[in-house]
């Protein structure tokens, strides 16, 4: 065996400690599969006194992560600090500039600065690897970028945020409301104290931007992603969805459509018979549809120390074996310039739930507005009767344009007989 | 871009023609992802006159596939002839001896001769790639060997034969018997004229032997795999399984157990809530459980021209990019010698269906035999009453040893009141 690959790890939170533990616990098989031992020689973190559950004796310690890039005895830099800017970006840039391969779990960094960083990696002729940035332990980047590389991809669909999937699964199983389940998830440590990155869909959108760039061979474009979170999903909508044969999931979808590529993250109704409908709790899934391979589903744990460390070390083994792939699957010159298609031009079916005053003529008013916007109904359900009180009306539409639906919705929301803001959830025919 | 990677394809059946079509249809993205064009320059097949749906003009043609290995203008040999010996083996050996990388879809060849071929590839310092040999278009080899490389794998479970899964799915959905569905599948081209390789579990066992070697880092050992097919599965057992909360699937399972590694292919009852239970029709799935990553499920089309070609070309792109991995994930010296554990030592739960004469004392006789073999019952159902006639009795057991169960079964089968050979299906707690 050749000499060990020397690793510097920046960030010793849950994931950083997990990587150290994995490299120690599975050192034997990792060395066999990497063709050489992989050894941590330096770390960067602020608090030297905290017990991280792994011994740190004998490792060089940096308080400034960027200094790690300058350590002559570090072959590969592992960035686990997080955040799209600041020290994480500084460290990755410094490491690439020093000609060192980088492994990162940082989805925000890749989604926002992935184009520029890929150029730097390309110029330096070193690897910038990020399997852990999308879908945790699932080999989604490798599966898509290498495993399905021969295919034109028509669509990539993902359950990309475990916190949201956990909350939606609890809401369904226990018939509870969003705020209630979120509070519990925060107590259990499944949701952050400030949960907005997760529940507002931003985290999923970072990951989707990365998957879309890989699937369609185009520069990463986070700003093009339409993003909605799950704050407005109610237990009632989940129950009504089940009655209609659907499950509500927060999906990220990147799709080839007329005029270019559409990328969007929002709650979706998916048929219960689709494999993604039964991916529950903290599990993530990535579904890719290729012209030759057909549908491929990859499912596993999307977060946590163990799964994320598994992905980080897989990248390190690739580097140890000299297995290299351009950041975005092809050289910058070979990427396409297919335009992004804005959400206004989205075409699809919709679920619309309205709380209306139970009085004659209400349905006629609402369906009249939909007709005015050329929206054709697939079904209408008015459950229960309470004359003079609020009752839910559920409408599902055939395919129509997002812009028409938005126009109709504004008018419907303004009707006297409509008592609450309408709930709109897109129906995906996966 | 550098000069094209020149490919020689041996075998122009469905898969061979699919590879040529894929390389032609998706030439642009393949070149971008491979960093250079991939071009077929020579082929080997017997019948020059057959229309294969792809133009073959300008390609050098060999009637003897082994001669392809000697073509100076061929950089990589693609073996799609099939069969564990004969010309397929001859070609692969000749190509490796000539220092040429080989891509093959040949599971039988890898399962039976994979150890010796890996040594030849290692000696020559070239790649022997076989993504297409297991689970068609699913990046299962790449996922397991690279994506999950940092993990100790506890168990790999797979639906590895699309023909069997299709037949079992039809039997369940339509309440039909095996022979009837098989005959139809043969007419539709989903099953071979001689279906025994598929339905007797041999094909799945080849694939499982390969997965087991990769998962546990040990030499491939087809002879250790316990193999049973699906000929004896009845519509009644499938119906009773549903009532008990199970689906019947033909699974390949490689598992770390006391004393070593157990590898087996047989019909299993799996809980309907497990992701593998809902993988239906011609879809395959591979489930790996790693110590850090947890459970990862990979699902997709397990056979057919498109999915298989997708996997073959993924291997070619790896070769074009110089991404190399030892055949069995580590060098021969780094493989372990964990012993194989024979099926007699298998421990698990069982479903047992007996057709018995409906008369007093029968249940006491049967449960007495089970007690004599230290087998503890979980449930017993006797459905319907027809005094003096045949009625089914269904028993499920707690975990017990295969050897005990076999002993008990022989005695039960010999009882006067037991009218048909007992049906035994293992219950997997996945």
What is the rounded average pLDDT of the residues A194-202? 97
Residues of chain A positioned with their CB less than 8 A from the CB of B143: 139, 142-143, 147, 298
Of all residues in chain A, the percent with pLDDT exceeding 70 is: 100
What is the rounded average pLDDT of the residues A212-225? 97
- Residues with Cβ within 8 Å of A155's Cβ and at least 6 positions away in sequence, in order, are A253, A254, A255, A256, A287, A288, A289
**From the CB of residue A430, how many other CB atoms can be counted at a distance below 10 Å?**
18
Are the beta carbons of A314 and B275 separated by less than 8 Å? no
What's residue A213's pLDDT?
A: 98
Are the beta carbons of A290 and B310 separated by less than 8 Å? yes
Range with lowest mean pLDDT among A39-48, A185-194, B138-147 = A185-194
Nearest neighbour of B33 by CB, restricted to A298, A314, A330: A330
The H or E element spanning position B97 is helix B86-97
Are the beta carbons of A292 and B309 separated by less than 8 Å? yes
ipTM over 0.90: yes
Q: Is A170 helix (H, G, I), strand (E, B) or coil?
A: helix
Give the tokens for residue A414. 């303004």
Burial of B384 (0-12, 13-18, 19+ CB in 10 A): exposed
Are the beta carbons of B295 and A307 separated by less than 8 Å? no
What's residue A387's pLDDT?
A: 82
What is the rounded average pLDDT of the residues A323-351? 96
CATH annotation of A140-301: 3.30.360.10
The active-site residue out of A89, A120, A207, A249 is: A207
**DSSP per-residue codes, A24-45:** HHTHHHHHHHHTS-EEEEEEE-
Nearest neighbour of A150 by CB, restricted to B22, B275, B278: B22
What is the rounded average pLDDT of the residues A192-201? 95
Nearest CA in chain B to A143: B139
Domain coordinates in residue numbering, chain A: 5-133, 140-301, 346-427
Give the tokens for residue B232. 């004896």
Q: How far is B316 from chain A (nearest CA, A)?
A: 9
What's residue B263's pLDDT?
A: 98
Give the tokens for residue B115. 């150890």
Q: In A290-309, which positions are buried (b, 16+ CB within 10 angstroms) versus exposed (e)?
A: bbbbbbbbbbbbbbbbbbbb
Q: Is A107 annotated as a binding residue?
A: yes
Strands, DSSP E only, in A334-409? 347-357, 377-382, 390-397, 400-401
A389 pLDDT tier (thresholds 50, 70, 90): confident
Strand pairing class (B260-271; B246-257): antiparallel
CA B104-B108-B112 angle, 5° bins: 110
Q: How far is A278 from chain B (nearest CA, A)?
A: 8
- Residues with Cβ within 8 Å of B147's Cβ and at least 6 positions away in sequence, in order, are A131, A139, A142, A143, A311, A314, B139, B296
A103-142 pLDDT, tens digit per residue, is: 999 999 999 999 999 999 999 999 999 999 999 999 999 9
Nearest CA in chain B to A329: B33
CA B346-B348-B349 angle, 5° bins: 145
Alpha-carbon dihedral sign for residues B178, B182, B184, B185: positive
CATH fold of B346-427: Alpha-Beta Plaits (3.30.70)
Are the beta carbons of A150 and B26 separated by less than 8 Å? yes
Q: Is B21 annotated as a binding residue?
A: no
Q: Looking at the predicted structure, is the pLDDT value of residue A68 above 70?
A: yes
Are the beta carbons of A131 and B149 separated by less than 8 Å? no
CA distance B303 to A6: 42
What's residue A1's pLDDT?
A: 52
Nearest CA in chain B to A272: B278
Contact B148, B293 (CB under 8 A): yes
Q: Is B192 annotated as a binding residue?
A: yes
Residues of chain A positioned with their CB less than 8 A from the CB of B18: 292
Q: Which residues of B are catalytic?
A: 207
Q: Which of B330, B292, B324 is nearest to A138 (CA)?
A: B292
Rg (CA), chain A: 24
Q: Is B294 annotated as a binding residue?
A: no
- Residues with Cβ within 8 Å of A181's Cβ and at least 6 positions away in sequence, in order, are A167, A170, A171, A174
Nearest neighbour of A143 by CB, restricted to B143, B301, B331: B143
Q: Is B12 annotated as a binding residue?
A: yes
Round the average pLDDT of chain A to a whole number and report it: 96
Contact B331, A2 (CB under 8 A): no
- Residues with Cβ within 8 Å of B206's Cβ and at least 6 positions away in sequence, in order, are B107, B108, B110, B111, B112, B133, B222
CATH fold of A5-133: Rossmann fold (3.40.50)
Contact B286, B131 (CB under 8 A): no
Nearest CA in chain A to B329: A33
CA distance A50 to A422: 49
A230-284 pLDDT, tens digit per residue, is: 999 999 999 999 999 999 999 999 999 999 999 999 999 999 999 999 999 999 9
What's residue B1's pLDDT?
A: 52
A152 pLDDT tier (thresholds 50, 70, 90): very high
Give the tokens for residue A427. 């129906």
Give pLDDT < 70 ranges for chain B.
1
Are the beta carbons of B306 and A292 separated by less than 8 Å? yes
What's residue B385's pLDDT?
A: 78
């Amino acid at each position: 065996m050749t000499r060990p690959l020397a690793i510097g790890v920046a960030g010793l939170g849950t994931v950083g400690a997990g990587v150290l533990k994995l490299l120690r616990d599975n050192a034997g098989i990792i060395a066999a599969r990497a063709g050489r031992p992989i050894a941590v020689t330096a770390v960067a973190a602020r608090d030297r006194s905290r017990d991280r559950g792994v011994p740190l004796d004998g490792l060089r310690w940096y308080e400034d992560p960027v200094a790690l890039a300058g350590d002559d005895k570090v072959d590969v830099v592992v960035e686990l600090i997080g955040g799209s800017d600041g020290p994480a970006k500084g460290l990755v840039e410094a490491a690439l500039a020093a000609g060192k391969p980088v492994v990162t779990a940082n989805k925000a960094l890749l989604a926002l600065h992935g184009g520029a960083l890929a150029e730097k990696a390309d110029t330096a002729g070193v690897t910038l690897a990020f399997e852990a940035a999308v879908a945790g332990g699932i080999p989604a980047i490798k599966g898509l970028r290498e495993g399905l590389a021969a295919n034109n991809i028509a669509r990539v669909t993902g359950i990309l945020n475990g916190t949201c999937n956990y909350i939606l699964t609890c809401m369904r199983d226990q018939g509870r409301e969003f705020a209630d389940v979120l509070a519990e998830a925060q107590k259990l440590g499944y949701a952050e104290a400030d949960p907005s990155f997760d529940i507002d869909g931003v985290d999923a959108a970072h990951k989707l931007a990365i998957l879309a760039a890989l699937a369609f061979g185009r520069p990463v474009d986070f700003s093009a992603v339409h993003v909605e979170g799950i704050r407005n999903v109610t237990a009632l909508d989940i129950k009504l969805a089940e009655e209609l044969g659907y499950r509500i999931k927060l999906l990220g979808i990147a799709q080839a459509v007329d005029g270019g590529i559409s990328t969007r993250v929002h709650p979706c109704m998916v048929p219960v018979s689709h494999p993604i409908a039964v991916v529950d709790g903290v599990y993530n899934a990535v579904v890719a549809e290729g012209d030759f391979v057909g549908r491929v589903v990859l499912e596993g744990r999307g977060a946590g120390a163990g799964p994320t460390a598994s992905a980080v070390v897989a990248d390190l083994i690739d580097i140890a074996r000299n297995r290299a792939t351009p950041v975005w699957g092809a050289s910058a010159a070979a990427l396409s310039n297919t335009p992004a298609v804005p959400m206004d031009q989205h075409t699809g079916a919709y679920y619309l739930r309205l709380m209306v005053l139970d009085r004659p003529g209400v349905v006629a008013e609402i369906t009249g507005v939909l007709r005015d916007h050329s929206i054709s109904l697939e079904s209408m359900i008015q459950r229960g009767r309470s004359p003079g009180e609020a009752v839910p009306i559920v409408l599902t539409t055939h395919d129509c344009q997002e812009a028409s639906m938005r126009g109709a919705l504004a008018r419907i929301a303004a009707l006297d007989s409509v008592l609450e803001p309408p709930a709109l959830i897109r129906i995906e025919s996966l």
